[in-house]
Structure 1
Amino acid sequence: MDTVAVMKSLVALFMMAIALGMDAFSVGMGMGMISLRLRQIFKIGLTIGVFHVIMPLAGMFIGVILSAHFGKVALFAGGVLLILLGAQMIFFSFQKEAGPIVQPIGLGLIIFAVSVSLDSFSVGLSLGIYGARVWATVVMFGAVSMVMTWLGLLLGRKFQKLFGSYSEVLGGCILFAFGIKLLLSM
């Protein structure tokens, strides 16, 4: 493969990585509106980056057999998870003494990471069919989504300071709306 073809393929993968990272950015912005420390933001971005490596890698290896069936299931599961996360953020923002059920730590972080990386699993299934460069693809997906998550979380954190107590409601609405968008795109 000549240099021009390699560059074109890397640019195409980068554009796809940005498209996949946009959901991590959007959801990160919503999640960033709850009080998070910089250490938590770092861990969240790193975890989402890792899941954006694991999920398309798994999708590429599963490939042709499941691509027709899993694409819609992944979108449905991701949409439902985001709706639930958004709804619980909205609900618990009105209760001062109780915190949200799902926080972006431990199992909550895994749920959060899975919900925003399910679309990369579907893309991985498709790329597996076309024989894309596996490692270049997954490293680019992981790196771009990690950076975009950090940007979203930091921007959400700024909005949280600006909007105060209303920021959790706004963040929950963003997650909820993004979940509905995923469900409607099926």
Structure 2
Amino acid sequence: MTWEIILFAVVLSIDSFSAAFAMGFRRFSAQRAFSFALSSAFAEGAATAIGFFLGHVAKDLIVNYDHWVAFTLLVSVGAHMCWEAYHHSSDEATESEDSRTHSFLKILFISTVTSIDSLGVGVTLGLAGKPILDYSVPIALAAFVATYLGLGLARRMPPAFGSRLEIIGGGVLIVLGFKMLSV
């Protein structure tokens, strides 16, 4: 494996880590954490492969609009997380009985949104004629590991931070959305 492939994998996994960290302030069962990591890995790897194939067909269409789609979706989800945290009273439930978890659909949605960069990279790899499996598999593995790391780090935070950390997490997603505009 070359340094170029490792660099692509690490850089593209940063969004998966950030999203997992942002979402990790709510409870996650071991099964849901695995689902999130697997979903992130699949989305990153598949987006890279799809981008690779689209690079041959519609390169300008994907490259011109991917950042606007990512911006809109990430800012929307981040704002929704902030709104939920602000409107959730800490008296409503204790940590042990907090029923607020992220739905599987939200996990799939976030995994898909954070993989849009990989779609663009896949287009570039397709145009450059790079071997797609050599890139998409390490990118997927890095996203899997990064998602677990993000969830684990958020879980280690003291529960007293509660909604404040969820607001910070939503803010991270909003910042990621604005970052997409500079790509």
Q: Normalization by structure 2: what TM-score?
A: 0.87
- Helix, strand or coil for the counterpart of 1:64? helix
Amino acid at match of 1:27: A
Amino acid at match of 1:123: V
Give the structure 2 partner of residue 114 of structure 1.
112
Give the structure 2 partner of residue 4 of structure 1.
none
Tell me how far 1:68 sits from its aligned partner: 2.5
Measured in 2, the distance between the counterparts of 1:136 and 1:105 equals 32
Amino acid at match of 1:141: I
> Which runs of structure 2 are paired with 1:75-114 in the superposition (5 Å)?
75-96=67-88, 104-114=102-112
The answer to whether the 8 Å contact 1:29/1:152 transfers is yes
Give the structure 2 partner of residue 142 of structure 1.
140
Measured in 2, the distance between the counterparts of 1:105 and 1:160 equals 23
> Please, which runs of 5 or more residues in structure 2 have no aligned partner?
93-100
User: Are 1:48 and 2:40 matched, yes or no?
Assistant: yes
User: Are 1:38 and 2:49 matched, yes or no?
Assistant: no
Tell me how far 1:106 sits from its aligned partner: 3.0
Measured in 1, the distance between the counterparts of 2:71 and 2:106 equals 16
Q: Deviations over 1:22-62 (max 9, x none)?
A: 11111211111222222211110110100111111011112
Give the structure 1 partner of residue 5 of structure 2.
13
Amino acid at match of 1:44: F
Tell me how far 1:107 sits from its aligned partner: 2.3
Tell me how far 1:15 sits from its aligned partner: 0.7
The answer to whether the 8 Å contact 2:88/2:163 transfers is no
Which piece of structure 1 moves more, 75-84 or 116-125?
A: 75-84
Measured in 2, the distance between the counterparts of 1:162 and 1:39 equals 24
Give the structure 2 partner of residue 23 of structure 1.
15
Among the aligned pairs, what percent are the same residue?
A: 27
Q: Over the residues paired in the alignment, what is the CA RMSD in angstroms?
A: 2.0
Q: Normalization by structure 1: what TM-score?
A: 0.85
- Helix, strand or coil for the counterpart of 1:132? coil
Count residues in correspondence. Answer: 174
Give the structure 2 partner of residue 164 of structure 1.
162
> Please, which runs of 5 or more residues in structure 1 have no aligned partner?
1-6
The answer to whether the 8 Å contact 1:79/1:115 transfers is no
The answer to whether the 8 Å contact 1:104/1:112 transfers is no
Tell me how far 1:126 sits from its aligned partner: 0.4
Structure 2 vs 1, CA of residues 69 and 160 (structure 1 numbering), >3 Å: closer, same or farther?
farther
**Aligned mate of 2:61, from 69, 72, 76:** 69
Amino acid at match of 1:67: K
User: Are 1:57 and 2:49 matched, yes or no?
Assistant: yes
